[in-house]
Chains A and B, each alone.
Chain A
Amino acid sequence: MRYFELFSIPVNYDVDLQEIGARYLELQRAAHPDRHSGGSEREKLLAVQKTAEINDALQTLKHPLKRAEYMLAELGLELRGEQQTLQDPMFLMQQMELREELEEVKTSSDPDAAIAKLEQHIKELNSEYSNELQSLLASQEENDWHKAADNVRKLKFVYKLKDELERIEDELFDD
């Protein structure tokens, strides 16, 4: 997996963000186009491309969901931009209820408590679907990768919920 190799870190879903940050600085320093200003046009172009690749790798590796999607894509399961729908009635029913709760936050008599409750719920869901990813993505079994993909699809809804909650918080406390 190219991005992990570029950063010289083990191919693992669980990563050390500090290590990633430190490697990023080293890589950027070495690749910085200014260091190649005396070189040929080709060398300058390569330096620019390298810098872009290092940035892409950083954005992918540091974000849990993007990292999982990247690993799945490398394993042959491309989820990014997929059009397939999720049909898991129990999970979706719960998502629907959480969205309803989210909607009620704005009119709640105690919005702080409502937000705290939702945050806690989102945190629990996040761990529920993230916890297994390390072992599923490290597995040699294709079946496990499909399980990981299903967890990642669900995590996308959880992240959406998180984004929406943050948006509502901003709306509530901005004015």
Chain B
Amino acid sequence: MAYSDKVIDHVENPRNVGSLDKNDPSVATGMVGAPACGDVMKLQIKVSEQGVIEDAKFKTYGCGSAIASSSLVTEWVKGKTLDEAAEIKNTDISAELELPPVKIHCSILAEDAIQAAIKDYKSKHDK
């Protein structure tokens, strides 16, 4: 199956691969997995006191589409508020990366990862 140029670009030059310090209270983690293909994705965000995402990192074990989806999402969320980031939809991701229908679940994984990270942040900070 042929990957789009955008997917290939993200796979060859993934943005923001790595980890943030999970003990830092301003860091939140979203962990999601896709049972259909066994892909695992970790997405971390560092959020300022004003609620703006200052940094994002990911680590994904999966196919090219899953890597590209998470790489793209880390680029997109930087500079966004949590509410803005929560609005990112898998359809935006799959459209940008020109994912074929069989790879839509990779973009769903990335959307759920950002949602899970936001939820983790809120559960840590809503007291």
> Residues on A close to B: CB < 8 A?
79, 81-89, 91-93, 95-96, 99, 152-154, 156-157, 159-161, 163
Contact = CB atoms under 8 A, between A and B. Distances in A.
Given A85-B109, A85-B112, A87-B116, A79 B40 contact: no
Interface in B12-27: none
Interface stretch (B30-38, B46-54, B73-81): B30-38
A93 to B, nearest CB: 6
The 7 A-B pairs at the shortest CB distance, nearest first, are namely A160-B38, A153-B35, A92-B31, A86-B33, A99-B61, A85-B112, A156-B35
B42 interface: yes
Contacts of B31: 87, 89, 92-93, 96
A161 B61 CA distance: 10
Which interface residue of B36, B105, B109 has the most chain A CB atoms within 10 A?
A: B36
A86 B36 CA distance: 10
A86 B116 CA distance: 11
Nearest to B120: A89
A55 to B, nearest CB: 24
B104 interface: yes
Contacts of B37: 160
B27 to A, nearest CB: 14
Contact of A96 (B34, B42, B112, B116): B42
A86 B61 contact: no
A83 B59 contact: no
B34 A86 contact: yes
B108 interface: yes
A157 B38 CA distance: 5
Nearest to A157: B38
Contacts of B112: 85, 87
A85 B108 contact: yes
A151 B36 CA distance: 13
27 contacts: A79-B35, A82-B35, A82-B36, A83-B36, A83-B104, A83-B108, A84-B35, A85-B33, A85-B35, A85-B108, A85-B109, A86-B32, A86-B33, A87-B32, A87-B112, A88-B33, A92-B32, A95-B61, A96-B31, A96-B40, A96-B42, A156-B35, A156-B38, A157-B33, A157-B38, A160-B37, A160-B38
